[in-house]
Amino acid sequence: MTTDPEHLELPLAGGDVTEGVVRVGRTVRRPVSDTSTVVRRVLAHLHDVGFVGAPRFLGVDEEDRDILDFVEGEVAGRPWPGWVADPERVASVARLVREFDDAMEPLGVPPWAERPYSPDIAGLPAPIAGPPTFIGHLDITPENVVFRDGRAWALIDFDLARPATRAEEVSNMLLWWGGWMPEADREAATRDVDPAVAGALIVTAYGLEEAERSNLVELASNLADRSWFLMKWRAETMGGGWLRMWEEGAGDRILRRAQWLRDHRKDLQRAVGAAR
Ligand SMILES: Nc1ncnc2c1ncn2[C@@H]1O[C@H](COP(=O)(O)OP(=O)(O)O)[C@@H](O)[C@H]1O
Ligand SMILES: [Mg+2]
């Protein structure tokens, strides 16, 4: 331990999963995990193509932690601040994610990005997303977006980055920024969001093509159904934060979301299908 301010370790709360994320001066240190290799390559690629909306990977420290740039700005903590529901902010998130996805697209789906996704989980529904076309972020929660001057500036926390389609990436945003879950399960800040209005805003700001909008709600349902099995599997095989979230009712929340999506399917699909 040191009292030198440049070396002081300030804990960074916010996420559910990674323990021991700290700020040290102008850097962030994250314990190396089995996803670090993918994350480092993704960040290196983004740097190579000149995408500035992500931290740079700077190396590994003497405690075997990844060193990243600390991105100055405003990040939501818990409870989420009211601005998480601000339509201009939400649209700016969708535009930033679009830029990120466009920056990732030239890389395609390299072999190192494939995840050992345990295909033999009993009961796991088949995916309907279609073949992935790029490495998506897929964890676009308010805690993982840095804002500057009231608009989304950078994405952080690439631990769940994996091969995706654009519709999958947008589905992930709809969850956290579009209120696509039962009101009672939402954070207070997004409880009054109208999922049809926010959904249309997000697909429009992202510029999701018509073909990919046409079965977006069905895809969201399929992803919810699958995520129940995948999350249970992660809780059982990985433990840690995954197990804690499961024990705190994450599985039941997913089941309620799947039902909510079925109940609101028509209205939601009309909204995102017709959005321009
Ligand atoms: N590179 C960064 N720049 C600025 N803040 C960061 C950075 N990395 C992490 N943080 C802050 O730390 C929090 C937790 O880090 P994160 O990488 O999201 O870990 P977790 O896996 O726990 O979600 C974030 O919500 C954010 O507030
Ligand atoms: Mg996070």
Q: What is the pLDDT of residues 134-180, one digit of tens each?
A: 999 999 999 999 999 999 999 999 999 999 999 999 999 999 999 99
Residue 51 lies in a domain: yes
My answer on whether 213 and 126 are in the same domain is: yes
Q: Atom 23 (ligand 1): residue with closest C-alpha?
A: 15
My answer on whether 28 and 157 are in the same domain is: no
58: domain range?
A: 5-69
Using the structure block, give the residue that is written with the tokens 């091969």.
163
**pLDDT greater than 80 at residue 60:** yes
Residue 255 lies in a domain: yes
Pocket residues for ligand 1 (CB within 6 Å)? 12, 14-15, 17-18, 21, 28, 30, 55, 68-71, 75, 143-144, 146, 156-157, 159
Residue 92 lies in a domain: yes
My answer on whether 65 and 148 are in the same domain is: no
User: CA-CA distance, 245 to 235, in Å (whole number)?
Assistant: 8
User: From ligand 1's centre to the CA of 130, what distance in Å?
Assistant: 31
Confidence label for 276 from pLDDT (cuts 50, 70 and 90)? low
User: Which one of the ligands is nearest to 69 CA?
Assistant: 1
Which of 15, 47, 69 terminates a domain? The answer is 69
What is the distance of C-alpha 86 from the center of its chain?
18
Confidence label for 6 from pLDDT (cuts 50, 70 and 90)? confident
Using the structure block, give the residue that is written with the tokens 């608009």.
151
Which residues make up the environment of ion ligand 2, defined by Cβ < 5 Å?
Answer: 15, 143-144, 157
User: From ligand 2's centre to the CA of 8, what distance in Å?
Assistant: 21
**Domains in the chain: how many in total?**
2
User: Which one of the ligands is nearest to 19 CA?
Assistant: 1
Which of 69, 91, 113 terminates a domain? The answer is 69
User: From ligand 2's centre to the CA of 142, what distance in Å?
Assistant: 9
My answer on whether 237 and 196 are in the same domain is: yes
Query: In whole angstroms, how large is the CA radius of gyration of the chain?
Result: 18
- Say which range, 72-81, 166-175, 236-245, has the weakest mean pLDDT: 236-245
My answer on whether 107 and 224 are in the same domain is: yes
Residue 77 lies in a domain: no
Residue 75 lies in a domain: no
User: CA-CA distance, 145 to 97, in Å (whole number)?
Assistant: 10
Q: Which atom of ligand 1 is nearest to the CA of 70?
A: 3
User: From ligand 1's centre to the CA of 43, what distance in Å?
Assistant: 15
User: CA-CA distance, 207 to 95, in Å (whole number)?
Assistant: 8
How would you label 75-103 residue by residue, b for 16+ Cβ within 10 Å and e otherwise?
Answer: bbeeebeeebbeeebbbbbbebbbebbeb
User: CA-CA distance, 186 to 179, in Å (whole number)?
Assistant: 7
Average pLDDT over residues 229-234: 92
My answer on whether 199 and 106 are in the same domain is: yes
Q: What is the pLDDT of residue 18?
A: 64
- Say which range, 51-60, 63-72, 236-245, has the weakest mean pLDDT: 236-245
Average pLDDT over residues 250-262: 98
User: From ligand 2's centre to the CA of 212, what distance in Å?
Assistant: 27
Q: Determine phi and psi for 57, rounding to 5 degrees.
A: -85, 125
Residue 220 lies in a domain: yes
My answer on whether 65 and 108 are in the same domain is: no
Give the tokens for residue 21. 């994320």
Which of 36, 69, 102 terminates a domain? The answer is 69
My answer on whether 88 and 55 are in the same domain is: no
Q: What is the pLDDT of residue 7?
A: 79
Residue 24 lies in a domain: yes
My answer on whether 127 and 21 are in the same domain is: no
Residue 251 is part of a domain; what is its CATH number?
3.90.1200.10
Q: What is the pLDDT of residue 20?
A: 86
My answer on whether 93 and 146 are in the same domain is: yes
Share of the chain above pLDDT 70, in %: 94
Residue 74 lies in a domain: no
Out of 9, 10, 12, mutate this one to test ligand 1's pocket (max ligand atoms within 8 Å of CB): namely: 12
My answer on whether 127 and 206 are in the same domain is: yes
Give the chain's mean pLDDT. 94
Average pLDDT over residues 54-78: 96
Structure confidence by residue, pLDDT tens digits, 173-199:
999 999 999 999 999 999 999 999 999
User: From ligand 1's centre to the CA of 264, what distance in Å?
Assistant: 33
User: From ligand 2's centre to the CA of 14, what distance in Å?
Assistant: 6
My answer on whether 138 and 34 are in the same domain is: no
Out of 23, 24, 26, 28, mutate this one to test ligand 1's pocket (max ligand atoms within 8 Å of CB): namely: 28
